[in-house]
């Protein structure tokens, strides 16, 4: 018999299935109830449906997680695309519309496109940029490139994925899509092509590079003859935080993740374990979806994929598990060229003309008709011209800037993730990643069955060694480097002495090879929480790498300190990490900055200086965590958001004690006292009780979500490893802090004896983006209760947890 929970899950699964798809539903007890037909009739339909080019079997387990089995990579991609379309139709379709350069056609040119990470531009600006890519056939040329382009298996996966999406939409039709975000939309009638998806993949690669500058690229125009330009900047005259924000590294709104790998010497099992938690948007293009991809005897990997990715991006197989964190490395360098007037500039080969192209974008007019708008874009051989005065890169009468983008020169990302799924240990994982050469903008942290723990930043990085940067930086380029670690190079010599270098082991020209990228394999533990590569383990700092990758001997965020201390404190107590203790760190919800500020009673002392007795009592009684039941934490969150840039600590950062400094709150600093007063006043003005439970204030804010209470809070500044943020809020606005960003696909993987894998996961916002689906909030409620999904990985586990099984053809 079905339990009520399993029966509800089965009904939810079957509502997704279009008529004509072969279905077999199986209960955990082994019975095989069938949706809509007797077993014999269902068996007949399954085996006599006209065979198509693709075939895949999709088994959904509790929470709607698809386990896709096929005989080839093309079939596997087909099943993945079909399953993704069932639960994420609207995001998938939106991704394809964006990749075609048709946002203005469907949503109007003045509408905005915010990917919730770095790209925030008008539909017209996005379309103009993408249309120029299409006109120059950028992706088509990469597809034809045997070095920079994808391999046979990746192509098969992408081709199958789009066929799966098309098959699903052909079955249900636009009016059969139940998600209100795109129900009945005209763009759902356009068949997806592999090229559409490849453009979507390509644009995701540009997330930390050209994608940051879409506005500045599309709006760039030649200066007037009397344009005075900007005075030569100095480091002291520039707002560093605003500069970093404009470069895609906003200190107040970071994007990133945590990952901790424990080696066999520090585990109770003697084998590797991994805790990974990427912090990404809860809405839109960069949501994750969970899946398992299996070709029996050949390929078997599970985990999470960004919507639109046919391959697992973060996950595990039977021998190795990995996660990713956004790297500090830059993916581009700006080049500054001396302008000779108009669209001419100087090189060591003489004056040159900018490549000027006019693109035509089809736009939706107010009355619903279609019109055309023209935009002009400019390039040098290195890349797009930008006009960004706020970033010290204006197009003036004296100079013009262009961006060379390393990720714009490759289409190897799908290959890289696909091949990582075949790894047998962490060394093999890194070898496969390096051979792929397409890890776009993230670090990798991994653990294996043999008890090894890996940290590596072997991502795509422009090959600009410090010596080359020093030789080629212009005066303004040097200021960029001083403030942001980004060398601005002399475009005069961009094709000669200031061109990017190539290492003997580079996967392709212009990027660092593995030998010049940081990595570390240990038997105890490593971690990363979006600080630079320097300190994956304090016992073995990594030093001697190029500044464009990140800083060395530099201060760590409170979140890095917290993630490290979870492991350090456990080991210091004389206990090794167990599978339960490691995954327990995710929901411990310690607050590092709170722990540091409370030393010697400093936080109470600071609050007492304000004279706010009621608020200070609530802060004193705070349990020091960001649990849903914690009271008074909102006062600390408000304080953290108001800390001055200087004068917070009496003991400064010490490179010899990087995970315990800075410390000692300067309770006599008038700025800090004022910050505390303002924090309290802000809560009072909004009628938020000082002793309200955190879970009544910190609630789910993804599309259509009820206000489910959540633990966790601000990451870098407060030191929450369970980092949650409220950005671009649309739902639950009546609550103090609707969460739209942060902890997403969390996985705790432990390798056990006898070849077993203990896989626990939680997808914080649920498998389905459709708010009408029961899989939209079920895992959110579990996350609220600090629970885990036992991810079914083996065939026996899948059979036990099965709620539906169906075969799809196309």
C-alpha count within 13 angstroms, C-beta hemisphere, residue 484: 29
Backbone angles phi, psi at 181, to 5 degrees: -65, -25
Q: Which of 280, 202, 90 is nearest to 715 (CA)?
A: 280
Is there a contact between 152 and 389 (Cβ–Cβ < 8 Å)? Answer: no
Check 257, 327, 532, 726 and give the catalytic one. 257
Which residues are bridge partners to 757 per DSSP? 751
Count of CB atoms situated within 10 Å of the CB of 365: 10
DSSP 681-742: HHHHHTT--TT-BGGGTEEE-STT----B---B-STTTT-SSBEE--S--S-TTSSEEE-EE
Determine the Cα–Cα distance for residues 438 and 420; give it in Å rounded to an integer: 11
Determine the Cα–Cα distance for residues 719 and 593; give it in Å rounded to an integer: 5
Is there a contact between 24 and 41 (Cβ–Cβ < 8 Å)? Answer: no
Determine the Cα–Cα distance for residues 181 and 187; give it in Å rounded to an integer: 12
Block residue for tokens 């539909």: 123
Q: Which of 648, 689, 637, 466 is nearest to 555 (CA)?
A: 648
The crossing angle, in degrees rounded to 10, of helices 413-420 and 194-205 is 90
Q: Which of 99, 64, 58 is nearest to 80 (CA)?
A: 58
Per the annotation, the verdict on 257 as an active-site residue is yes
Q: Kindly give, in sequence order, each residue whose CB lies less than 8 Å from that of residue 794, ignoring residues fewer than 6 positions away.
A: none
DSSP 612-640: -HHHHHHHHH--SB--TT-BSHHHHHHHH
Burial profile 611-648: b = 16 or more Cβ within 10 angstroms, e = fewer: ebeebbebbeebebbbbbebbbbbbbbbbbeebeeeeb
Is there a contact between 395 and 221 (Cβ–Cβ < 8 Å)? Answer: yes
State yes or no: cis peptide before 157, omega within 30 of 0.
Answer: no
Q: Which of 750, 446, 454, 723 is nearest to 576 (CA)?
A: 750
Number of H helices, E strands in the chain: 23, 33
Long-range contacts of 614-620 (CB under 8 A, 24+ apart): 614/690, 615/680, 615/683, 615/690, 618/690, 618/691, 619/690
Block residue for tokens 């490593």: 526
DSSP 555: P
Q: Which of 410, 409, 407 is nearest to 151 (CA)?
A: 410
Q: Which two tokens stand for residue 759?
A: 């896989």
Determine the Cα–Cα distance for residues 723 and 196; give it in Å rounded to an integer: 34
Q: Which two tokens stand for residue 75?
A: 């079939």
Note the Cα 385 to chain centre separation in Å: 27
Which residues are bridge partners to 290 per DSSP? 304
Give, for 481, the enclosing helix (H) or strand (E): helix 475-484
Backbone angles phi, psi at 563, to 5 degrees: -60, -40
Classified as helix, coil or strand, 201 is helix
Radius of gyration of the chain (CA): 27
The catalytic residues are 257
């Amino acid at each position: 018999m079905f339990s009520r929970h399993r029966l509800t899950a089965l009904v939810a699964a079957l509502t997704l299935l279009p008529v004509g798809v072969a279905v077999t539903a199986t209960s955990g007890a082994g019975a095989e109830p069938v949706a809509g037909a007797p077993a014999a009739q269902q068996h007949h339909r399954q085996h006599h449906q006209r065979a198509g080019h693709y075939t895949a079997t999709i088994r959904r387990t509790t929470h709607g997680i698809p386990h896709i089995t096929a005989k080839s990579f093309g079939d596997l991609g087909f099943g993945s695309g079909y399953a993704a379309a069932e639960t994420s139709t609207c995001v998938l379709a939106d991704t394809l519309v964006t990749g075609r350069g048709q946002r203005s056609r469907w949503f109007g040119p003045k509408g905005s496109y915010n990917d919730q990470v770095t790209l925030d531009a008008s539909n017209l600006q996005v379309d103009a940029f993408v249309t120029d890519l299409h006109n120059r056939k950028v992706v088509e040329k990469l597809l034809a490139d045997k070095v920079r382009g994808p391999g046979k298996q990746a192509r098969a996966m992408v081709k199958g994925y789009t066929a799966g999406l098309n098959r699903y939409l052909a079955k249900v039709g636009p009016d059969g899509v139940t998600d209100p975000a795109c129900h009945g939309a005209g763009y759902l009638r356009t068949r997806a092509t592999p090229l559409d998806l490849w453009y979507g993949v390509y644009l995701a690669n540009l997330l930390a590079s050209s994608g940051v500058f879409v506005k500045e690229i599309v709006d760039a125009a030649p200066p007037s003859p009397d344009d005075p330009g900007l005075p030569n900047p100095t480091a002291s005259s520039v707002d560093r935080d605003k500069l970093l924000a404009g470069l895609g590294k906003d200190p107040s709104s970071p994007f990133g993740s945590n990952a901790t790998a424990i080696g066999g010497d520090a585990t109770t099992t003697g084998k590797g374990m991994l805790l990974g938690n990427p912090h990404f948007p809860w809405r839109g293009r960069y949501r994750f979806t969970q899946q398992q991809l299996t070709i029996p005897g050949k390929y078997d990997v599970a985990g999470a994929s960004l919507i639109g990715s046919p391959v697992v991006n973060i996950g595990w197989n039977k021998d190795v598990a990995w996660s990713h964190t956004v790297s500090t490395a830059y993916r581009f360098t700006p080049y500054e060229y001396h302008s000779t007037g108009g669209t001419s500039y100087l090189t060591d080969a003489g004056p040159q003309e900018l490549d000027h192209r006019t693109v035509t974008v089809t736009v939706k007019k107010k009355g619903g008709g279609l019109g055309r708008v023209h935009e002009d874009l400019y390039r040098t051989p290195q890349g797009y011209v930008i006009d960004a005065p706020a970033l010290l890169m204006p197009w003036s009468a004296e100079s013009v800037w262009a961006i060379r983008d390393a990720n714009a020169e490759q289409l190897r990302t799908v290959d890289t993730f696909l091949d990582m799924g075949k790894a047998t240990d962490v060394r093999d994982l890194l070898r496969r990643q390096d051979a792929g050469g397409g890890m776009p903008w993230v670090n990798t942290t991994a653990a294996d069955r043999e008890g090894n723990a890996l940290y590596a930043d072997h991502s795509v990085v422009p090959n600009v060694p410090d010596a080359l940067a020093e030789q080629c930086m212009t005066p303004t380029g040097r200021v960029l480097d001083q403030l942001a670690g980004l060398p601005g190079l002399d475009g005069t010599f961009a094709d000669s002495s200031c061109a990017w270098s190539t290492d003997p082991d580079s996967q392709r020209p212009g990027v660092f090879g593995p030998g010049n990228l940081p990595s570390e394999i240990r038997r105890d533990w490593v971690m990363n929480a979006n600080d630079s590569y320097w300190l994956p383990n304090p016992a073995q700092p990594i030093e001697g790498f190029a500044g464009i990758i990140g800083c060395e001997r530099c201060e760590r965020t409170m979140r890095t300190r917290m993630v490290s201390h979870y492991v350090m404190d456990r080991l210091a107590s004389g206990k090794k990490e167990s599978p339960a203790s490691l995954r327990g760190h995710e929901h411990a919800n310690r607050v590092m900055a709170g722990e540091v500020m409370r030393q010697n009673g400093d936080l109470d002392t600071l609050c007492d200086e304000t004279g706010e007795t009621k608020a200070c009592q609530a802060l004193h009684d705070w349990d020091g965590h960001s649990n849903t039941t914690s009271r008074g934490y909102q006062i600390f969150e408000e304080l953290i958001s108001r800390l001055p840039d200087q004068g917070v600590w009496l003991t400064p950062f010490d490179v010899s004690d990087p995970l315990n400094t800075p410390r000692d709150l300067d309770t006599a600093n008038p700025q800090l006292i004022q910050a505390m007063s303002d924090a309290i006043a802000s809560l009072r003005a909004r009628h938020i009780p000082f002793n309200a439970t955190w879970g009544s204030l910190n609630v789910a804010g993804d599309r259509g979500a009820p206000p489910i209470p959540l633990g966790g809070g601000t990451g870098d500044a407060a030191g929450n490893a369970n980092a949650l943020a409220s950005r671009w809020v649309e739902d639950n606005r009546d609550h103090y802090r609707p969460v739209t960003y942060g902890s997403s696909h969390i996985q705790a993987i432990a390798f056990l004896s006898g070849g077993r894998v203990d896989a626990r996961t939680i997808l914080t916002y649920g498998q389905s983006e459709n708010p009408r689906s029961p899989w939209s909030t079920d895992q959110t409620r579990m996350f609220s209760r600090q629970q885990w999904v036992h991810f079914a990985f083996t065939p026996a586990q899948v059979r036990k947890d099965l709620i539906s099984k169906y075969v799809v053809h196309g």
